Each structure stands twice: as C-alpha cells, then as structure tokens.
Amino acid sequence: MNSEIIFLPTPNWFISRPIDVNTNDSTLATCAINSIILTNNLLTTNQSTIKDAHTKRLHCVSFYNIPNFDYLASCSDDLDIKVWNYKTRVLINQHKLHQNSPSCIDWIRISDASSDPILLSCDIKGNIFKWNLNTGEHIRYFPENKPITQIKILENSYKTAVGYKTGTIVLLDVKSENLTILQKLKNHEDSINFLLWCPFKTEENYEELKNELNCDNLEHVLASSSEDKTIRLWCTLKYVQLKFFRVPSGATKNSKGKDNQISYTPLCWPRPNLLLTGSFKGELFHIDLENLKSVSSNESLIKWNTFMSLPDSQMHKKIIFDIIYCEDKIVTLSLDRLLNIWCLKTFKQEKSMTTLNGFVYSITPSPIDPNYMAIAVGDSTIKFLNEKQNVKTFANNIKSEVTQIAWHPTKESFLAFGTKDGKIGIADVMSTSKPANYIYTNYNQSVYTLLWCEDLLGDEENNNEETSRKFNLYSVADGKIMQHCLRSVSFSKENLNTENIKSLNFYKSLSKIINEEKSESSIDYGLTEFSVLSIKETNDFYFCIGKFDGSIEVYKKENRQVKKLCCLFNHQKLVTYIKWNVSTFDLNKNEPVYLASGSNDFNVIIVDFKHLINEVDQVERSINFYSKYKHKLIGHKERITGLNWCQSLDSNLLASCSYDSTVQIWNADSGDYVANYRGHSDKLLCCLFSNDDPNVVYSGGEDYCLHKWRIDSQEFKKPPEQ
C-alpha cells in the first residue's frame, strides 16, 4: 500500500507493556484502546491492524520472538488471553482462565525446536497461569495474594521475575508443575513499574561491567524500577542488590506541575552497559554502567546524561511512561501524546510523532497557504500540519470532540469549528494563549457541515453595503442550516470579541424569500448538507442544499435576489456530502464544472453543472425534478463520508471515502476506477488531495490515524467486493 502514517493512535497509558518489538523483523505492536496496531520502519509505515482484538482496553502485548513462529499474545480487561498470528492477523488460540483482570504476560522462550510455546499470564489478584499453546494444558500458580504489575522471564530459562504493586519482586522457577519460589526481593517501597533482564550475550565481553557490578554472570542480572522513583540492579544467583539509583527529576524549562503529581519510572536496557530512564518532566536520560559517576558521597545519586531534544514544539513536556528499543533507535511514549524517536549512537532526538486519542473527522487546507492544513480531531483538539509535517495543536477552551472546521477566507488565523455536542466556536489558532470563543450552542447533536460565505439571502436585514461584504458562518446540524451573522470578528490581547452575533434559521428565511411553502419538518429537520460556489467577477453565488430524502436543491443568488433553479433527484437516501470541482464558476471559461454528491445509498453522483445551468436557462423557470447526471460511480459498500477534488491544473480526479474503510480515486471525465486505498482499519471520515503533488492523498477516520499515500502505488483499482 506504500503509505506513511502521519498520526498514530495514542498507545494506552500506564500499562505493563503498551508496545512490544519483534526482534526478528522489527515489527512493533501497539496497544490502542482495544485494537493492536502493527507497524514497521519505526512506526511510520502501516503494516496492519488487528481491529477490536479484545472487547475492552488492552493491558499488554508480547511477541514470542522465536524464529519461524509468528505469535503475538495479548491480554485485556475482558479477561481473555489471546494468541495471534501477527502476519495474517488470525486468532490462533485463547483462554479464559482468569476471573480477574489480567495485568501482564510473557513467553517462556527456549531456543529448542522440540519445545512447545508456553505463555505465562498474571492478574490483579496474584494468579499466574502457565498455558501450553499446543496442548492447551494449564497450571495455576499463586505465590502471593497481591496485585501483579510486571512479569519477565529470563531467555532460554524458566527463571521468572514477578513484580507486585507492593514493591516486592518474587523470583520463581516455573519449569515444573510445583511452583518453586527462589527468593523475594523487598527493597522497593512502592509498585513495580518495569522488570528487565540484562541483554547480555555469551559471545560478548563486558569485563569492566562485571567488575563494576561485582558479578560474573551478567545474564542473571535483573533491573527493576518502581513508583518509589528508584532503579535497582539485582544478582539473581546470590539474591543481592548490586546497584541502587535515584531517578533524576529533570529540569525541562517548559514542564508544568510538580514532580510528585505522577510517580512512574520507565526503564530500558538496550545494551548491557547502558541503562535508560525518563524524568517526571519529559527528559530522556542514560547512564554508562561501566563508568558510574556519583555527584555526592551518596552512592545512589549517580550523574545521568541527557539525550539532546529537537526544538521546543517536539520535545516531551510531560512524564515518559514507556521506553522501547528497536534497531539502534529508542522510542519514548509520554502523557503529552508525543511519540519521539531517538538515535542510540548519537543520543539525539531524530523525530517526533503526534498521536491521537480520537477520530480524524475533517481535513481542511488554509485558503491563504494550501500547504498548511487544519485537522479536526475527536480528542478535543485541532491539529495543524505544514508541508514539512511539523505539527501544532490548539486545544484552548475546546471541551468536546471537534467534528468540523472552516478557515476564515481572509483572516489567516481565524478558524471556525463545530463540535460533537452541537457547539460552534471561533478561535485565533496562531495563539495558543487565547481561548476559543463559542458563538452558538443550541444544536443538540454533532455539527457536520461548516463554511464561510457572504450573505446569501440578500434580505433587508443584511442588505446594506457594510454588511454585504462581511463573511457569515453557515452550519448544518440537527437537520437544519443556521446562518451566523458576525458584524465584526476581532481578537483582543486576552480573547475573542464577537459583536452583534445573530443566528437565524437559513432555510426558513430562504423559503420566505422565494415564496415557497415548506413543511415544518423539512425546515427544522430535513437538511443534511450545504455547499456554495461563487460566480466569477460578481458578488453572486450558486448554492446547494442536501436533504434527507436524497434530493439536492440548487439555488442562485444574483443581484441580491435568490431563486430556485432545480431539484436534483439522483440519490435514494440522504445526501452526506456535496463538492464542486472548482471554487469559482466561470461560464466563459472552457473547463468542466462538476457537482459531486455522496449519499447513504453508497453511490457518488457527478452532475455536469454547466449543462444543468444551460437547461434551466432554456426553460426560464425552476425545474422541480432533474435526474440527469454525467456519471453514477458505483463501488463503495457503505455510506459516503467525504469527497475531494484534485486542484491541480487539468486534473479530473475525484476522491471519495466511505464507511467501508477505503478511499476510491475516480476519473471524473470517464467515470473509470483509478485506485483504491485499503490501508485503514476502520470507517473513514475525510480525504484530501495534496496541494503540492496530485499523486498524494491524505485520509483519516475512526482508526485514530491520518495516512499519507500515493495513488500510483496502490495495488487495487476498485473497492473490495465485500
């Protein structure tokens, strides 16, 4: 599919293992709510998704990491332990032995072809189940009646370290049916966050490290971290503590809050002599275990070295809760929803990725700079993406999922937004310190269309020269269209000032102007979509209104007079989207003007708008029933949720996205299939052609992802049959 992931779903926070790495092919598995995201190339290339892997929130994923076995285990609050073939995404086996929420899992990894794959799973009541995947046999261990937070099994061994919420670490031998408790390590004073065995290989030589730790068997050294803000190294042969480090607090100047707000100590051990942790303020630290330097007489106060971060907007500003090692790179996860990638050779940050905790509802390019895009996200934020894929976030005073956005046509920093709970707001998005201001809060349901345009009614209330050049905001929700008249929009130093805002029922006012009788239900409930097309070198417009019955009413505002041109009847169900291929209508220009519409009937209709206008002009009256179209594009298997035209010169490409999880590229002139993108794992809500390259498309939806992909790299030309 050759796609690049711009935004990934936010991994689940504060669980035993939100991301695991396959050491054979570097595939990364990520827990994202109840689905598993499988990526490669350090999270930038989509491989696949195990959608709804569990019915509740995931707690842990674990690769088997034995050659020729493509096993990935997962556990969840739904009490299930599942094993998947991560390459085919097929469920291999599962068990329901736990009666309490499983907290962590790990494999017994024995490099012996005759050994069966065996998985250990733990729960919050202290139960441990040893499960043979081939035979289905299981054994229950119960070393302590306390919540288990971590488990880690030594490679090519049955020695198992189990961490508890009390801070105790219990060393077990799980080879036989009868549980053998080797030792209990009780130096930690709070919950165990991480357990890691030293990544020592027998062919390696770390004599200085052995001398520093006073331990000849490095493979039996265990590292533990705890919410007591300490890291400890243990010799599990002699059952003694080797080293004790206090976690650095960090000194990030942009960090907010106190150090003790959240106590969590991430840990990573990529090489035997290198240990990594994160501060409570978002910094990433490392120490050389062969060259420990104390900063005082207190042996626990070791000097930690800091990784060098990228510029301010891409550095962590909140606590790091996981650190992953993959291919000489380090991946860190933080509460700021940034997923940062670092180079282990240079100790520098290389990349920052923003993750999302909500649907990607809408993508809209700026009218001033089309390479600058605003993205409406269901985690109560608006993201901004430039051509270099740098990301900014606006969230000041946004309290609900953002479903629609619309840039002001002339004021570069003004952006209107609509929310899932039916509110309309305006924000100065270039300033994160100025809160968004709400101008309309009377909708009951999600706002699904939002656009700026001059006054389309031309009535006496708005018919003076001053207001006729003002841009009004139009919104669609609850089955009606509202016109929000803003006489002035300006920002003070503190917030947005909106004066004389007046909201009126647009369709009701329109019906009065054209003297057309409308039922109360059609005025107050029957409308689903709204789109406007300006007429070149005039202050006139065409505009369309989509309805629940599948019809589209077409109007023209000319010389401050509004008249109805026709009613299109090409869809069988409600209209979900309307989009012209041009922003300005020029009757004298020799170029096609197409009107595309999508519907719950799964079809896309393309109408030759110039031909329609000519027919209306010939009869010199409104056409009540018009069912002619240029193409009826059939292929999607679910409702159409978005349409976008390629704006490159001489381009005839139309993109449509659907609840069937695909984006279809069409040739609007011929009606032919061009390409079908199948990289998403859930319903799609929006799509957008790149302004720079007509071969590049962005798409997003309910899988919490924004993808960027090339049309000419797609394997398929049409949507799947099922």
pLDDT in tens, 67-82: 989 999 999 999 999 9
- For residue 297, pLDDT beyond 50: no
Task: Report the range out of 19-28, 99-108, 499-508, 649-658 with the highest average pLDDT.
Answer: 99-108
Please report whether residue 192 resides in a domain.
Answer: no
Contact predicate 285/306, CB 8 Å = yes
Q: How many distinct structural domains can be found in the chain?
A: 4
Instruction: DSSP for 177-232, please give it.
Output: SS-EEEEEE----S-EEEEEE----TT---HHHHHHHT-S-GGGEEEEEETTSEEE
Burial (0-12, 13-18, 19+ Cβ within 10 Å), 187: middle
**Interval 19-37 mean pLDDT:** 93
Least confident of 103-107, 128-132, 462-466: 462-466
- Are 387 and 492 contained in the same domain? yes
- Are 687 and 573 contained in the same domain? no
Burial (0-12, 13-18, 19+ Cβ within 10 Å), 216: exposed
How many percent of the chain have pLDDT more than 70? 91
Kind and range of the H or E run holding 97? none
d(CA 423, CA 439): 8
E strands, 236-346, are 240-246, 268-271, 274-278, 284-288, 305-306, 320-326, 329-334, 338-343
Residue type, 47: Q
Which CATH number does the domain housing residue 706 bear?
Answer: 2.40.10
Please report whether residue 711 resides in a domain.
Answer: yes
* Tokens 């005082």 -> residue: 296
The stretches of 364-505 forming alpha helices (DSSP H) are 465-468
pLDDT in tens, 329-340: 999 999 999 999
How many percent of the chain have pLDDT more than 90? 70
Sort strands 471-477 and 480-485 into parallel, antiparallel or unpaired: antiparallel
Contact predicate 279/286, CB 8 Å = no
Summary mean pLDDT of the chain: 90
Sort strands 373-377 and 90-95 into parallel, antiparallel or unpaired: unpaired
- Are 59 and 88 contained in the same domain? yes
pLDDT in tens, 485-537: 987 777 665 556 666 788 999 999 998 888 776 666 666 668 999 999 998 87
Domain holding 141, by residue range, is 1-186
- Are 603 and 552 contained in the same domain? yes
Task: Of 172, 240, 162, 219, give the one whose Cα is nearest residue 194.
Answer: 162
464 pLDDT tier (thresholds 50, 70, 90)? very low
Instruction: Single out the residue in 610, 634, 658 at which a domain terminates.
Output: 634
Please report whether residue 613 resides in a domain.
Answer: yes
- Are 628 and 670 contained in the same domain? no
- For residue 256, pLDDT beyond 50: no
pLDDT in tens, 544-571: 999 999 999 999 998 888 999 999 999 9
Which CATH number does the domain housing residue 13 bear?
Answer: 2.130.10.10
pLDDT in tens, 126-180: 999 999 999 999 999 999 999 999 999 999 999 999 999 999 999 999 999 899 9
- For residue 715, pLDDT beyond 50: yes
Structure tokens at 341: 């990638």
For the sheet containing 631-633, what is the strand order?
Answer: 575-580, 594-599, 604-608, 631-633
- Are 630 and 645 contained in the same domain? no
Instruction: Single out the residue in 138, 168, 186 at which a domain terminates.
Output: 186
- Are 610 and 682 contained in the same domain? no
Query: 349 pairs with which residues across the strands?
Result: 342
Residue 619: per-residue pLDDT: 81
Sort strands 527-535 and 584-585 into parallel, antiparallel or unpaired: parallel
- For residue 123, pLDDT beyond 50: yes
Please report whether residue 85 resides in a domain.
Answer: yes
Please report whether residue 469 resides in a domain.
Answer: yes
**Interval 6-19 mean pLDDT:** 93
DSSP state of 145: S
- For residue 235, pLDDT beyond 80: yes
**Interval 202-231 mean pLDDT:** 91
- Are 26 and 119 contained in the same domain? yes
Least confident of 47-61, 131-145, 497-511, 627-641: 497-511
**Interval 405-430 mean pLDDT:** 93
- For residue 91, pLDDT beyond 50: yes
341 Cβ neighbours under 8 A, 6+ residues apart: 42, 43, 329, 330, 331, 349, 350, 351, 352, 353
- For residue 596, pLDDT beyond 90: yes
Please report whether residue 326 resides in a domain.
Answer: no
Residue type, 138: H
Contact predicate 581/558, CB 8 Å = no
Instruction: Single out the residue in 602, 634, 666 at which a domain terminates.
Output: 634
pLDDT in tens, 309-322: 887 667 898 999 99
- For residue 46, pLDDT beyond 70: no
Cα Dmax for the chain: 98
- For residue 116, pLDDT beyond 70: yes
- Are 90 and 13 contained in the same domain? yes
Contact predicate 226/193, CB 8 Å = yes
- Are 68 and 23 contained in the same domain? yes
**Interval 101-120 mean pLDDT:** 93
Least confident of 158-167, 379-388, 517-526, 579-588: 517-526
Query: 547 pairs with which residues across the strands?
Result: 527
Least confident of 40-54, 276-290, 373-387, 671-685: 40-54
- Are 672 and 600 contained in the same domain? no
Residue 258: per-residue pLDDT: 46
Please count the other Cβ atoms lying within 10 Å of the Cβ belonging to residue 444: 8
525 Cβ neighbours under 8 A, 6+ residues apart: 478, 479, 480, 548
- Are 435 and 487 contained in the same domain? yes
403 pLDDT tier (thresholds 50, 70, 90)? very high
What does each C-alpha distance from 445 to 400, 423, 477, 478, 480 come to in angstroms?
12, 9, 6, 6, 11
Please report whether residue 199 resides in a domain.
Answer: no
d(CA 468, CA 338): 45
Please report whether residue 295 resides in a domain.
Answer: no
